[in-house]
A = this chain, B = another copy of it.
Amino acid sequence: MVATDNVQKTPPEEATFNLVAYLKERQKLCDNALDRAIPIIYPEKIYEAMRYSLLAGGKRVRPILCLATCEMMGGTIEMAMPTACAVEMIHTMSLIHDDLPAMDNDDYRRGKLTNHKVYGEDVAILAGDGLLALAFELVALKTPANVNRELTLQVIVRLGRALGAAGLVGGQVVDLECEGKSDISLETLNFIHRHKTSALLEACVVSGGIIAGASTEDVQRLTRYAENIGLAFQIIDDILDITSTKEQLGKTAGKDQKAKKVTYPSLWGLEESRLKAQELVKVACAELEPFGDRAKPLQAIAHFITSRNN
């Protein structure tokens, strides 16, 4: 009887929410929109280079977070799609530039040769610049008219900040400065990842909310959700670098240890790091409780982050 009671109390959404199918469907929507965003015209080489990295089959976690938040807050996929494409372009641009010989000097990404290995360093730098320009153009041009124009400008501010010296770029600079040093403090490590990883994830989530007209209080709630999954995401990334093979990751594995890089597992150990990531995801999900069943996708994505293996 008790068991039956429990089953009946479970809301149908929870019983039937299928994250795998949800992610697959959203990934397809994003892939199609990204594909449509970049034609191949003269000079073909730059459009091909931009498409090569952008359409290399990423998981589309960032754009999906943006769409899911917009929907949770009462908006539509159409309202958020230009911004969703923009965050994936910004993310891809940061990967292309990070992989350059002058930076992390990586040959593989998402199981394929990195952009500069295929198109040369010069074109890779320009492909990143081109993706960045297109990201902002897309949000300004394609965000539908039922999104308040002031809110669209706020999204552009968020994206610019997440990308610039107060975000990705600032995090990468500190990361480069720490290279080869084994005495990095937890504070510095947190700075790097808050800027390199969390800032853009936060912009994805918060922008999705802003587009749907979220209140200041809701934006704060979304920010806390994003901060927590951002750190969890990075901890899992560090763990995977240790425990996975190149085939599983689609990029060079074991790089952190080889470079004697300070990471969360190197500070806390693997098991403690896993527990910490799980705890962060729990806190993130709790932030969304006021949104009830509508928060299911974002909560499921948070759990997915700690269970992923690539």
Which chain A residues have a beta carbon within 8 Å of chain B's beta carbons? Answer: 43, 45-47, 50, 93-94, 97, 100, 102-103, 120-123, 125-126, 128-130, 132-141, 149-150, 152-154, 156-157, 159-161, 163-165, 167-170, 172-174, 176-177
Contact = CB atoms under 8 A, between A and B. Distances in A.
B129 A177 contact: no
A126 B139 CA distance: 23
A166 to B, nearest CB: 9
- The count of identical subunits is 2
Q: Which 4 A-B pairs have the closest CB atoms?
A: A137-B160, A133-B164, A102-B121, A149-B149
Contacts of A135: 160
A275 to B, nearest CB: 31
B163 A133 contact: yes
By secondary structure, the A interface counts as helix
A190 to B, nearest CB: 13
A140 B169 contact: no
Contacts of A50: 165
Nearest to A171: B43
Contacts of A121: 102
Nearest to A148: B149
Nearest to A47: B165
Contacts of A47: 165
A132 B132 contact: yes
A209 to B, nearest CB: 17
A97 B129 contact: yes
B103 A125 contact: yes
A176 B49 CA distance: 14
A157 B141 contact: yes
A152 B159 CA distance: 16
A170 B134 CA distance: 12
B136 A46 contact: no
Contacts of A170: 43, 46, 130
Given A43-B170, A136-B136, A136-B156, 12 more contacts: A46-B169, A93-B129, A102-B121, A103-B125, A123-B176, A125-B125, A126-B172, A130-B169, A133-B163, A139-B156, A140-B154, A140-B157
